[in-house]
Amino acid sequence: MVNKDLIPKYWYNIIPDLPKPLPPPRDPPDAEFSRVELLKKILPKEVLRQQFTIERFIKIPEEVRDRYAIIGRPTPLMRAKRLEEYLDTPAKIYFKYEGATPTGSHKINTAIPQAYFAAEEGISHVVTETGAGQWGTAVALAASMYDLSSTIFMVRVSYEQKPMRKTIMELYGGKVYASPTDLTEFGRKILKENPNHPGSLGIAMSEAIEFALDHNYRYLVGSVLDVVLLHQSVIGMETIAQLDELGEEPDILIGCVGGGSNFGGFTYPFIGAKKGKKYIAVGAAEIPKFSSGKYEYDYPDTAGLLPLVKMITLGKDYVPPPIYAGGLRYHGVAPTLSLLIKEKIIEWREYKEEEIYEAAKIFMKTQGIVPAPESAHAIKAVIDEALKAKTEKERRVIVFNLSGHGLLDLGNYESIRRRVEK
Amino acid sequence: MRRMLVTYMTLGYPNLESFYKFIEKSVELGTDILEIGLPPKYAKYDGPVIRKSYKAVTSWLKDYVTPLKEVRKKVNIPIIILTYLEDYLSNLDNFLTILHELGIDGVLFPDLLIDFVDEYEEYVSKIKGKGVKAVLFTGPSLPDNLIIKASKISDIFLYYGVRPTTGVIIPVSVDSLITRVRNLVQNKLVVGFGLNDFNDLRKALSAGADGIAIGTAFIEEIEKYGIQSALQLVKTIRGILDEYS
Ligand SMILES: Cc1ncc(COP(=O)(O)O)c(C=O)c1O
């Protein structure tokens, strides 16, 4: 029986602690409709309120804490002792294991409160899109917890390549469609042009939003928006308490970045509490947003239905190459994270597929966990920092977020093996 | 103390004749400060209603000097111009000189502390140096220390927009937002951006706002029911403000 007291009572919001104003979301110059106004019809009311809140700490509803307990929060904070030995480093390495949740990744942390706020508002049905399937799985489970129906538009190629993802979403009660579908005007238009369209995240997102608007359902957001990072802060809040219990002071905090939600959720509470000396955000070299992205207003979604936000971005029309970490194939970086990178409070790294594959193998060999390919990016940075501590003979404490396990990504590992190990 | 009614109207909306009438009568009905919007190239932080009003007037309004001269003649309360700094980067001195010569009291650039935050103090000096008052715009996404600094150098009052854009009623906790900012601001505090619900108005006033800025609600009223009805709304809001005097 889990001691619920160990689950944080508050989410942490970094907005009031930012060094500069967070540029507000806006509509494009010649908007035919207001995307900011559209948000009111898309998101549950309380989610929208939290998106624009400036309170530093926000109470987590008891009902949400109950569900957090059901999915196994607090998730374990583990020491990577064998990895330390393997690297022969004086550094101590800890990881927060978000893969320990039933859906296998951190995404459930925000799916639960978003579904809860929708249910509280009397909404009966939630809708979302999913690329690789992690987010869709989290939404299907969260919806079932509050007796909501869920519809998930899954990018057609993924739908065909990853039948197990569809199966798990359906087991949780979600209705999964290969997008483009003929359920929406947007989908029908795409299908008319190309009946065999492979789909894209942008199309799936447009379909999900249109479907939600048509039926007066609500849309759940998986990353990038402030409110998602807010909910994910449960990761960092727990980690702080767990480190305190061990009497450890962290020096370096590391996480991978797709849209920025697990990274922000993990590190922001540390930044707010002035704990840690170095924060490292890790992306994929194949999607070089940190090194080549511009800091400017852009759409979070490829279809351009959400308001513009100021972020580091490769442009909404950027087509990411098919690297095996599906969750990192995103063109932008959450606005708060972008600002903190611009202000040099957070550092970044980018690693290539081969490098992170090596890191993942070392982690599997030493710790036994198959990391999600996304999380393997964080591991690569951890290894580099641990080796640096060795060279510099410093006993640093490195803590990273293992955002998910890779047991549903074995097909991806198989394909990278073929590519890298020729 | 009398709470301030800051009335916003887009220059020339819906047409010159009605615009003058609205301005003059709204002053008679208790407007303390006029805020007049000059249509920008890109209304970055405005909602659909104000954007539409910009669009409506830009098709025929080619010169802002003559109508502003006229407004200055008609009313003797402070006039503040609301527009975007972005459009005047290359000819700011000239723009400020014209405003000064027209007898306009101040300018408010909503993008100053957001998009030009690294140089805002230089811009404020420049504005004041030209004899024009600088009214600063702040909002919830600004860090506390910036609000404190900005409030001290803001002329006439400090503007605090409770929502990310004008006229879009995103659910926010008006009272807690204003209670927080009230403690930071040693200046008159005027609250706006999506404030047209009478309950929100009362909450803002109870939480210590010295004034309220209303724009979208007047434009919507004109759009739907005409000038008379918008003036009636001015009167109603004046009444609410007076409950707190
Ligand atoms: C396991 C895992 N980690 C990380 C990410 C990256 O997303 P974010 O940066 O929003 O946390 C994803 C996204 O799907 C993911 O599934």
Of A65, A43, A338, A343, nearest in space to A209 by CA? A43
Shortest-distance atom of ligand 1 to CA A224: 10
| pLDDT tens per residue across span A376-411 | 999 999 999 999 999 999 999 999 999 999 998 898
Closest residue to atom 1 of ligand 1, CA basis: A404
Token reading at A135: 């987010």
Of B214, B234, B238, B213, nearest in space to B25 by CA? B234
ipTM value, please give it: 0.85
Is the Cβ pair A36, B47 closer than 8 Å?
Answer: yes
Global pTM reads 0.93
A312 touches A291 (CB < 8 A):
no
> Active-site residue B93, yes or no?
no
Q: Which DSSP state fits A52?
A: T
Provide CB contacts within 8 A for A188, sequence distance 6+. A180, A182
- The yes-or-no verdict on residue A60 having pLDDT over 90 is yes
Contacts of A26 in chain B (CB under 8 A): 44-45, 164-165
A11 touches A233 (CB < 8 A):
yes
Angle, CA A254 vertex, CA A253 and CA A255 arms, to 5°? 135
A147 touches A124 (CB < 8 A):
no
Q: Name the residue of A135, A137, A223 whose CB sits within 8 Å of the most ligand 1 atoms, as the mutation to test its pocket.
A: A223
The residue ranking higher by pLDDT, A66 or A322, is A66
Phi, psi of A398 (to 5 degrees): -105, 130
Note whether B44 contacts A: Cβ–Cβ < 8 A. Answer: yes
**Residues of chain A with pLDDT > 90: what percent?**
82
Contacts of B169 in chain A (CB under 8 A): 40
> Active-site residue B35, yes or no?
yes
Token reading at A60: 């987590």
Note whether A19 contacts B: Cβ–Cβ < 8 A. Answer: yes
- pLDDT of res. A273: 97
* HEC sequence for chain B: CCCEEEEEEECCCCCHHHHHHHHHHHHHCCCCEEEEECCCCCCCCCCHHHHHHHHHHHCCCCCCHHHHHHHHHHCCCCEEEECCHHHHCCCHHHHHHHHHHHCCCEEECCCHHHHCHHHHHHHHHHHHHCCCEECEEECCCCCHHHHHHHHHHCCCCEEEECCCCCCCCCCCCHHHHHHHHHCCCCCCEEEECCCCCHHHHHHHHHCCCCEEEECHHHHHHHHHHCHHHHHHHHHHHHHHHHHCC
| pLDDT tens per residue across span A169-188 | 999 999 999 999 999 999 99
B143 touches A18 (CB < 8 A):
yes
Give me ligand 1 centre to Cα A88, in Å: 30
A260 in ligand 1 pocket by Cβ < 6 Å?
Answer: yes
| pLDDT tens per residue across span A114-145 | 999 999 999 999 999 998 899 999 999 999 99
Give me ligand 1 centre to Cα B116, in Å: 33
Note whether A295 contacts B: Cβ–Cβ < 8 A. Answer: no
Shortest-distance atom of ligand 1 to CA A326: 14
d(CA B8, CA B209): 17
